[in-house]
Structure 1
């Protein structure tokens, strides 16, 4: 099967899992805090770390398997997992300042972009 089809199929599965896990966690804790999303992001980050480590140590069955799991399933489950792994690579390469800048810049910029999007839509009515 072609890599784009694997990514699409597993991306859909990851998205469905994200929805299910997030809703279940949110119901379990019954809070206004987005704990479901928080849990999904933490679990996705754990899974991409484990997957990439596994593939690095043992080798993926082929590059399509690695791409299908990481870009497909985990990309659908949470894009935060990619951000986490890329930051880990910077940290592992002892590029601590770059890792810190990546974390700070990503969190602040994404929050600001979200706020800008909300405010723009409200302004445009």
Structure 2
């Protein structure tokens, strides 16, 4: 169990540093390109990791924890959101996926706005 925490923590640290590197390297002001890039790249990586883990019994849980939960989790949480929705769609839970997508976006933005206001913005 402790080993799993270390794998996730190490991967998360690497993912967070990679995300920060993207923010330093990409400085487009008109569009949040760095965030967009890490979200799309992270979604691609977590999709590939999930596919490998489903196809290959040798793709150990350790690698899945390190790459998907750790690196992708530190790189972006959008990748987990994407994979959860793919799983819902694969299980033909279309309504739940739609509710999850719409509510996550709307409530996420609303929560960020409320946090912005609560922290003292005018």
Per residue, is there more helix in 1 or in 2?
A: 1
The two structures share one fold, judged by TM-score above 0.5: yes
Query: Structure 1: how far apart are the matches of 2:10 and 2:48?
Result: 21
TM-score (norm 2): 0.91
Task: Give the length in aligned residue pairs.
Answer: 121
Runs of 4+ deviating beyond 2 Å: 59-62
- Structure 1 gaps of 5+ residues are none
RMSD of aligned residue pairs (Cα, Å) = 1.7
Alignment of 1:30-69 (within 5 A): 30-69=28-67
**Cα distance in structure 2, aligned partners of 1:40 and 1:82:** 12
TM-score of the superposed pair, with normalisation by structure 1:
0.89
Which 5+ residue runs of structure 2 have no aligned equivalent? none
Alignment check: 8 A CA contact 2:53 2:60 kept: no
Q: Which residue of 2 aligns with 1:22?
A: 23
Paired with 1:49 and 1:70, the residues of 2 have a C-alpha distance of: 9
How far does residue 60 in structure 1 lie from its aligned partner after superposition?
4.9
Give the Cα–Cα distance (whole angstroms) in 2 for the partners of residues 3 and 41 of structure 1: 24
